[in-house]
Amino acid sequence: MYTDTLDIKNRHPCFNDDVSMKKGRLHLPVSPICNIRCKFCKRSFNKTEQRPGVTSKLLEPQSAANLVDKALDLCPDITVVGIAGPGDTLASEHALDTFRKVHERYPQLINCMSTNGLLLERYADDLWSAGVRTVTVTVNAVDPNILKDICSYVFLDGGVYEGITAAEILINAQKRGIEKMSALGAVVKINTVLIPEINDFHIEEIAYTVKSLGASILNIIPLIPQYEMSDIFPPSCAKLNSARASAEKHLPVFRHCQHCRADACGIPGMNDVSSLLYEDKSCEVAQTFSHG
């Protein structure tokens, strides 16, 4: 299988610093549940917070697909339709269903997905068939002794796993998923949340490992102190720059992340038009989702 990697990087604002303020993206908030529990994650419904895991509403797949025309009218520079929450994209069927509908109607747009990677290998072929060509996997550690302090539990096939066992399950699943999507031809980006005194010394090992699996670029995100990690100070600029320098020994590092919401629309950091896009109350499903 083949993907025009250069074309994607020239059109995707989250995979190339040079186009991060020239090309637009649309995030469709269709994923209601998550299958892991990260200690820094706090999902919410509101219209004010500018961070991942937040949306003003939850959409059904058909309603989401129907919004693409309106989004393109509001921002003709949109080149990417992404799904990044508020839950995990593969913890329910909603994201895959949405991608199929969008790809059928807008094959020229890049279908992009963010995921924790737990079920990425399982659904890799289906995602490729649905037109998904770029994938972001959040990898916060490749050592289970570190990840156990970041991820509280993993819910998989009816079982709940905690501690080292959960960390091992997630890491191994992420590795297989990254390798599978890369082999299919997708461009894989890694997001890593930099958490002082927990994984800040571990970034180079993450970069080295995911590079060997086929990842193309790494995005290091400073911790937003909240939920169980509300008492941890975010990393300093010096620590963030040091982490990026260590990662760049192995992979290019994306430096213009905007901490986008799950319902973002427009050119990152330039012209967010999500409030105009999602003002239609008929698109709303429910102001609720599951954390489990």
List pLDDT tens digits, range 134-176. Answer: 999 999 999 999 999 999 999 999 999 999 999 999 999 999 9
Q: Which one-letter amino acid corresponds to residue 153?
A: Y
Query: How many residues in total does the chain contain?
Result: 292
Domain range annotation of the chain: 5-278
pLDDT at 289: 34
Q: Looking at domain 5-278, which of 3.40.50.720, 3.90.1150.10, 3.30.930.10, 3.20.20.70 is its CATH number? A: 3.20.20.70
Model confidence pLDDT, tens digit, residues 78-112: 888 989 878 899 999 999 999 999 999 999 898 99
Phi, psi of 100 (to 5 degrees): -60, -45
pTM for the whole structure = 0.87
CA distance 70 to 59: 15
Report yes or no: 43 and 86 within 8 Å, Cβ to Cβ: yes
pLDDT at 138: 96
pLDDT at 24: 75
Mean model confidence pLDDT for the chain:
85
